[in-house]
Amino acid sequence: PYNWYRQMRETQPMYFDPQMQGWHIFSYGDVARVLSDHATFSSDESTFLPPEYRNATPISSSLLRMDPPRHRKLRNIVSQAFTPRMVAQMEARIQTITNGLLDQIVAKGEMDVIRDLAIPLPITVIAELMGIPAERRADFKQWSDALVSGGGETTAEAAQATMQTIRQATDSITTYFTQILEERRAQPQNDLLSALLQAEVDGERLSSEELVGFCVLLLVAGNETTTNLIGNTILCLDEHPEAMEQLRAKRELVPGALEEVLRYYSPIKLTIRGTTTETTIGEQHIAAGQVLLVWIASADRDEAEFPHADQFIIEREPNRHLGFGRGIHFCLGAPLARLEARIALNTMLDRLPGSWHVPDAPLSPIESMSVFGVKNLPLTWQ
């Protein structure tokens, strides 16, 4: 997609797409501005989805799709679980889980990075954090995949098929979490779910839709994206052997390298907003009630913000990428995602010696308008 983004930034940085009935936004300045101004650019689905597509998944009832003041109140409750301090306390546990996953493959000399590490690590971590059994992680994965599937269908039949897949996953996931939440209500424990059940906003408990919405948001937002950050990191290092050498020689560069992956191959390509009033973006006048397709992945390759934007430079400074968003919806899980990716990469560097090799066979990209990653990533070493 990166060639298309460049072409659009150069020729039509704001473009009305008659098929999508929305404005594509490609430049760093415009994307950053839209994400920063939540009053003009709403995250509420009613501002950007036709009625028949609203409330399709539990994520519709989550804070990702809310505006203030309710957004702020809900975010306050859950942000207590994600303070950098709380996350830092999980470091030892994440290391143990990573070691356990790698123990099984180190002797083999080959692995599939996605299947063997990038999928199971975040799922196991978030399940423990939420206090749900990790045994059903195959189901979690399938539900998450279904919920982010689709986008850009060209026929009504294809769009209907996607909606059907999404509906089925929604039913299963709602049943699952409703039951877990009932168990917790009867028997509170020291975990995130019990805390959410007890939380009050304006003197009232969260509705069951909001509770399920939050669980699903964590499961989907937290898994798919972290999986792809880990996978995309290995892709970047395979494509840039000089960066790999730098990292082997100097491990302090790992955190900066991960920020560069978030910029260069952002796991989330796109987010959506709707205009609440008429406004101008750049020189373009936009009416109220318009849909905006906000291309994070394009903004992060904009030369106006990033010199040599198409080069992968692990010591890039400054690196104000938008991979975790910006403004009031800035990713709540960013400290956790950074920690998991850092441990995954460092442990791979420790335990998989010599040079790494990704076979030349073409890799299959995930088919989604908003997610960037590969389905499988075979790797051999030495």
94 binds ligand HEM (CB under 6 A): no
47 binds ligand HEM (CB under 6 A): no
Applying CB under 6 A, among 102, 146, 212, 268 the residue interacting with ligand HEM is: 268
331 binds ligand HEM (CB under 6 A): yes
225 binds ligand HEM (CB under 6 A): yes
Rounded alpha-carbon distances, angstroms, from residue 226 to 29, 74, 230: 26, 23, 6
According to CB under 6 A, which residues from 49 to 78 bind ligand HEM? 63-64, 75
Applying CB under 6 A, among 60, 61, 226, 275 the residue interacting with ligand HEM is: 226
373 binds ligand HEM (CB under 6 A): no
Measured from the CB atom, the residue of 13 and 325 that comes closer to ligand HEM is 325
Applying CB under 6 A, among 199, 221, 374, 377 the residue interacting with ligand HEM is: 221
Measured from the CB atom, the residue of 279 and 380 that comes closer to ligand HEM is 279
Q: Which stretch binds ligand HEM (CB under 6 A): 91-99, 171-179, 302-310, 320-328?
A: 320-328
Measured from the CB atom, the residue of 149 and 380 that comes closer to ligand HEM is 149
Binding-site string for ligand HEM from residue 97 to residue 136, where x marks contact by CB under 6 A and - marks none: -----------------------------x----------
Applying CB under 6 A, among 295, 329, 343, 370 the residue interacting with ligand HEM is: 329
Question: Of 98, 105, 113, whose CA–CA distance to 376 is shortest?
Answer: 113
Applying CB under 6 A, among 28, 48, 312, 324 the residue interacting with ligand HEM is: 324
Q: Which stretch binds ligand HEM (CB under 6 A): 300-308, 330-338, 350-358, 374-382?
A: 330-338
Q: How many positions of this chain bind ligand HEM (CB under 6 A)?
A: 24
- Select the residue whose beta carbon is closest to ligand HEM and give its number: 333
217 binds ligand HEM (CB under 6 A): yes
Closest distance to ligand HEM from the beta carbon of 275 (Å): 15
Spell out the SS3 assignment of the chain: CHHHHHHHHHHCCEEEECCCCEEEECCHHHHHHHHHCCCCEECCHHHCCCHHHCCCCHHHHCHHHCCCCHHHHHHHHHHHHHCHHHHHCCHHHHHHHHHHHHHCCHHHCEEEHHHHHHCHHHHHHHHHHHCCCHHHHHHHHHHHHHHHCECCCCCHHHHHHHHHHHHHHHHHHHHHHHHHHHHHHHCCCCCHHHHHHHCEECCEECCHHHHHHHHHHHHHHHHHHHHHHHHHHHHHHHHCHHHHHHHHHCHHHHHHHHHHHHHHCCCECEEEEEECCCEEECCEEECCCCEEEEEHHHHCCCCCCCCCCCCCCCCCCCCCCCCCCCHHHCCCCHHHHHHHHHHHHHHHHHHCCCCEECCCCCCCECCECCECCECCCEEEEC
Residues that bind ligand HEM in the complex, under the rule CB under 6 A: 35, 63-64, 75, 126, 217-218, 221-222, 225-226, 229, 267-268, 271, 323-325, 329, 331-333, 336-337
